[in-house]
Chain A
C-alpha cells in the first residue's frame, strides 16, 4: 500500500466505514494516519469529556457527522444530579467558529440549550440531520430555530427528551420552501401543535419516510396525514381514539390499507382498544412494533394484534401481554430478534404479569433472538438454564427482576447458575444486566465465559471484592462497568488500575469505596478523571480518607479535568 499515491489509499479508505476499523487504520503508520484523518467524515465520541472540540476539529477537518454522548447511563434512572454536565454548547460554539461543514449531529444524554440550537441552525448551511436522544435543557423555541433556519433539513428526530413546550409554533416555522424532510419525530413533545401546518408540511415532503407524532395529534389528522404520505416506512401514532363506527374511522381503515410500505409502527400514546383492528392489514409487513407506551391495551388486545405480525423482528411491549401472550409471540414471530418487555406497573407485585415462563416460551419459539430486555417479577435458575440451551446468539441480555434481591422462588437459591448458563452458552454476548439474588459466584462465571462482554450493569449483587475482581480480570473487552449497591470496595478498585485506561468508564455508587482509594487512583492514573458526586448538605467535603464515597464516576480522557463541573462534584 505504501507504493500507491495518497489518493488511491484514500479511495480505499472510503470503503472502510466502521469507527473501529477507521481507528485501527489510523494507527498503522504516519502516512495512513494523515490520509485517514483528512478523509474522515463521521466521528463517534462516546464520552464528551474524553476529548475537547478543539482537538476534534484540528484532527478531522473534513468532519460532517458527529455523535456525542454525555451523562453516564445511570443518569437515566435519576442517579446523576441535575447540571452534572454534558453540555453541548462548547462543542457547537467551537464547530461554528471553525470551517467544519457539519451536516449531522447526534446527541445522547446531553444538555442542550435553545441558544445552542439556534447557533447550530445558523452556522452550517448544509446541516441535514439532528437526532437528540434523552437530552434536556431546551424548549420548542430551539426546535423552531432548527425548523426555520436549516434549509436542507432531512431529519429531525427527538427521542425521549425533556423539552419545555411553549405550545409549538415550531412546526409552522418550517418554511414553505422546505421539502426535503425524510424523518420527523416529535413524539416526546407534550404540547399542542398546529395541525394544519403539519398537514401542509407532510404534503410538501415527498421524501418523508418516517413520521412519529405526539399525543395531541388526533386520529382524524392521522387519517389525513396518511392520505398525503402513503409511502411512509416508519409511523408513530399519536392519539388513536375514536368511535369505530364513525366516518373518520372508516376513512382511516381505508387509507391504512394503502400504506403497504410501513415496516415500523410505534406510539399509540393514547389508544382505544376497539380501534386496533384497523391496524391489522399492515401488521403482516411489520418488522418493528413498539407498543410500550400504549396505556390501556390489555393482554387480549396485544395478543390479537401480535398474531398478525409474522414478520416481526423487533417487539417492544408491556408486560400486560402476560406469559400466555408471550407464548403467542413465540409461535407467531419466528423472525424475532429483539424483545423488550416493560413493566406496566412496576410497584404492584400482586399483578405478576410476566414470569420466567414467558421468557422460556420465547426462547423456545424464536431461534433468532439476540437481544433481550425483560422486566419480570420472578425468575428461576431452571428457566435461565433452559433459555441458555435454546438461545446461543444473545448479543444483549438484560434481565430486571423488579424485586432487587429476589432469589429463585422455587429453590430459594441465588440466580448465579442461571446467569452462568447464559454467559457460558452465549459467546457473543456484548451487553449484560443482572438482577435478583446473586453472589460472587455469578461474577466468577462472567469473568470465565463472557469474553466478548463490553458493558455490564450490576445492582445489589455480590458478597465481596472478589466479585468485582473476577469481572475486571476476566472480561478483556469490557468498556463500561456500572455498579450500584454492591459490597465492592478499595481492594477491588485498586487491584488493576491500568484496566480503566482500556475502558470508557466505571460507575460505582453506594458501594464500599473510600475517598482515600479514589484519591490514590486519581494520583496514580493521570489519564483518568475520577469524579466524586457529593450531594449531601455539607458545604465542604470532609477530608477524611476513610469516608465511603457515595457516587464515583471515572473515565479515561486525553484532556484532563473538565472545567464545567458543578460544585458538588469533586475531581480528584
Chain B
C-alpha cells in the first residue's frame, strides 16, 4: 500500500513530495482496524484485496491557504522512488526494506532499543487468557504498526514512521519536523503535512479525522 505523505517547503511552485509506504500491511489484513483506516483515509480498498501489499493512494485535494503554513511541496507526480532520487543532486540508495514488517520505530532503528525487547512489550499488552477470542481486539489495541515512508523536500534520506504511534495529525507533524530538523533547519510553522492519494493527488492531512 502506498500512502504518500508530504511535508512542504515555503515555495508554492516547487513540487517534491513524500513517499509513504505502508509496511506491515500483511499483518493488518485480519484487523478490523485496517478497514477503519482505509475508510477514514478515503480509500476504497476492498477487504478482499488486502492480501498482499498494494498501492493505496487517496484523492488529492486542493491547497487552501487559511493557515500560516506555506503550501507543501508536491511530488512531481512520480510515485516511483528511484525516479525521485534521480531528480535530486545527490541521489541515495533507498534504505527501506519492504519486507521488514517487524519494526515499530518512529525513525528506523530509533530509539535504540533491541527489537526483541520491543516485541516483549507488544506481547505483554495482549491478555494471555482467552487469547484466541480476543485476538481481533487485542491486535487492534496492540499497536501492530502501520509504516509509512516520509521524505522532506531537500533532505536526501527518507524516514519511516509508524502512524499507529500517533493520535493526531499535529503530533505526527511535530514528530516529523523534529526528525527532519537535524537534516535541515526548519521552523515548525513552515511545514504542512500532505499525503498523496491513489489518483496521485495531494491532500492536506487533517481534512479527514485521524481515525
Contacts and interface: CB of A to CB of B under 8 A. Distances in A.
B120 interface: yes
Contact of A537 (B82, B108, B116): B82
Interface string A240-271: 00000000000000000000000000000110
Contacts of A295: 121, 124-125
B148 to A, nearest CB: 15
A535 B113 contact: no
Interface in A311-361: 342-344, 346-347
B113 A342 contact: yes
B107 interface: yes
B76 to A, nearest CB: 19
A402 B111 contact: yes
A44 to B, nearest CB: 22
Nearest to B128: A270
Given A269-B124, A270-B128, A546 B109 contact: no
B68 interface: no
Contacts of A544: 91
Contacts of A344: 121
Interface stretch (A99-107, A115-123, A277-285, A547-555): A547-555
Interface string A62-105: 00000000000010111101100000000000000000000000
A440 interface: no
B112 to A, nearest CB: 5
Nearest to A162: B116
A535 B95 contact: yes
Contacts of B182: 404-405, 460, 485
A269 B120 CA distance: 9
B59 interface: no
B105 A78 contact: yes
Nearest to B115: A78
Given A404-B182, A460-B182, A536-B93, A77 B114 contact: yes
A547 B92 contact: yes
A549 B115 contact: no
A403 B106 CA distance: 10
Interface in A383-408: 400, 402-406
Contact of A342 (B92, B117, B181): B117
B103 to A, nearest CB: 5
B11 interface: no
A459 interface: yes
Nearest to A76: B114
Given A293-B120, A405-B181, A510-B157, A550 B95 contact: yes
A288 interface: no
B156 interface: yes
Contacts of B106: 347
B170 interface: no
B92 A347 contact: no
B116 A550 contact: no
Nearest to A405: B182
Contacts of B123: 190
Interface residues of B, number: 43
Contacts of A82: 99-100
A108 interface: no
* Chain A contact surface mostly: loop
A6 to B, nearest CB: 46
B165 interface: yes
B92 to A, nearest CB: 5
Interface in A458-490: 459-460, 484-485
B92 A459 contact: no
Contacts of B96: 535
A538 interface: yes
Given A77-B109, A404-B182, A536-B82, A550 B92 contact: yes
B36 interface: no
A534 interface: yes
A188 interface: yes
Contacts of B188: none
Nearest to B118: A346
B92 A78 contact: no
Given A78-B102, A510-B157, A548-B92, A346 B113 contact: yes
Contacts of B211: none
Nearest to B109: A77
A536 B81 contact: yes
A79 B94 contact: no
Nearest to A73: B112
Contact of B90 (A78, A269, A460, A548): A548
B111 A375 contact: yes
Contacts of A460: 182
A496 interface: no
Contact of B109 (A78, A190, A402, A403): A78
B178 A551 contact: no
B111 A547 contact: no
Contacts of A346: 111, 113, 118
Contact of A134 (B108, B116, B118): B116
Nearest to B183: A485
A546 B88 CA distance: 12
Contacts of B157: 485, 510, 550
Nearest to A344: B121
A326 B112 CA distance: 22
B100 A537 contact: no
Nearest to B82: A538
29 contacts: A76-B112, A76-B115, A77-B109, A77-B110, A78-B102, A78-B103, A78-B109, A79-B108, A160-B117, A269-B120, A270-B124, A270-B128, A293-B120, A295-B121, A342-B117, A343-B111, A344-B121, A346-B113, A400-B111, A405-B182, A459-B110, A484-B109, A510-B95, A510-B157, A537-B94, A537-B98, A547-B91, A550-B157, A551-B95
- What 4 A-B pairs come out closest when comparing CB atoms? A536-B94, A77-B109, A295-B124, A550-B93
